[in-house]
Amino acid sequence: MELIDGKATATAIKAEIADKVAQKVAAGERRPHLAAILVGHDGGSETYVRNKIKACEECGFQSTLVRFESDVDEATLLAAIDELNKNPEIDGFIVQLPLPKHIDEQKITEAVHPDKDVDGFHPVNVGRQSIGLPCFASATPAGIVELLKRYGISTRGKNVVIVGRSNIVGKPLASMLMQKGEQGDATVTVCHSATKNLCDVTRNADILVAAMGRPGFITADMVAPGAVVIDVGTTRVPDASRKSGFRLSGDVDFASVSEKCSYITPVPGGVGPMTICMLMQNTLLAYERRGGIGA
């Protein structure tokens, strides 16, 4: 079994991005600029946004954090989005999810201008991706595709089984892997909570992607010998031995599955770091599309 090291791969990609940015800055251009809107003080969201800002520093980007308390009303949030849409200094921005219950997430997602939607969540980007047009690709599935590519794992003609059909992981990943061409051409099956005989389906996978949010759900008996296993799951489970009081758990029972598969992503250190890295890549793309503009 070979470990797919998302952390090392992400570090290498961020260094590639930083090189490109350094060249642009040396040529007198300004730095790419990513903004993030963070609502409230959820521990997970705080960590994600902190890691995104750190990644901006590593890539040589400028970053701006716009914070609101969790009782912010929808109109205020929409006004902040409008401001970022219009701000010529911002290349792209994200609104960290989840949002408090009183805010309509879909409305917020659709308020972000598609040209600045570096998370790739706006229906315009989702639609463009699904018909193979240039777009901002959703970061987590794009990170998985990039990992497979960098580890020389072809998807052509492979049976890919994705467990989970969310709008941010399962659906866009299925769409990417079924596209014609390199890093696509897979035969994709998407499973969910109504799938019958899940084990029979997952055992047929050359590449199995678990994106359910159910710690340790995928056990060795659900995996074909030699399969490639991608674990997207990231659930905080209580762990008194940790200073934080929790540890991150994937959807795959790593101990048993790693004995049987050919490749596997760890949690943490697998898909997670790649997601942030793809956000950086989308921000660079947004900057380049806007022509870099002078310093």
Report the amino acid identity of residue 264: I
Beta carbon of residue 77, minimum distance to ligand NAP (angstroms, whole number): 21
62 annotated active-site: no
* Residue from 5, 24, 91, 96 carrying the catalytic annotation: 96
Taking the least distance from each CB to ligand NAP, the nearer of 63 and 275 is 275
Torsion of Cα atoms, 170 then 176 then 179 then 184, to 10°: -100
Taking the least distance from each CB to ligand NAP, the nearer of 60 and 216 is 216
Beta carbon of residue 195, minimum distance to ligand NAP (angstroms, whole number): 6
| Chain residue at closest Cβ approach to ligand NAP | 166
Neighbour count for residue 81 (Cβ, 10 Å): 22
Taking the least distance from each CB to ligand NAP, the nearer of 87 and 189 is 189
Q: Which residues pair with 36 in a beta bridge?
A: 65, 94
Beta carbon of residue 119, minimum distance to ligand NAP (angstroms, whole number): 11
Place of tokens 């004995």: 259
Taking the least distance from each CB to ligand NAP, the nearer of 81 and 252 is 252
Give the footprint of ligand NAP on this chain (CB under 6 A). Answer: 140, 163-166, 168-170, 191-195, 198, 211-214, 232-235, 271-272, 275
Pairs from 195-204 (Cβ < 8 Å, separation ≥ 24): 195/163, 198/163, 198/222, 201/161, 202/161, 202/163, 204/159, 204/161
Beta carbon of residue 51, minimum distance to ligand NAP (angstroms, whole number): 10
Q: Taking a C-beta distance cutoff of 8 angstroms, is the pair 206, 160 a contact?
A: yes
* Measured CA distances, 33 to 86, 120, 133, 283 (Å): 14, 17, 24, 7
96 annotated active-site: yes
* Residue from 14, 52, 116, 171 carrying the catalytic annotation: 52
Beta carbon of residue 140, minimum distance to ligand NAP (angstroms, whole number): 4
* Residue from 5, 91, 117, 119 carrying the catalytic annotation: 119
Tokens (6 digits) for 164: 């989970």
Taking the least distance from each CB to ligand NAP, the nearer of 21 and 118 is 118
DSSP of 182-227: TT---EEEEE-TT-SSHHHHHTT-SEEEE-S--TT-B-GGGS-TT-
Catalytic positions, written as ranges: 52, 96, 119
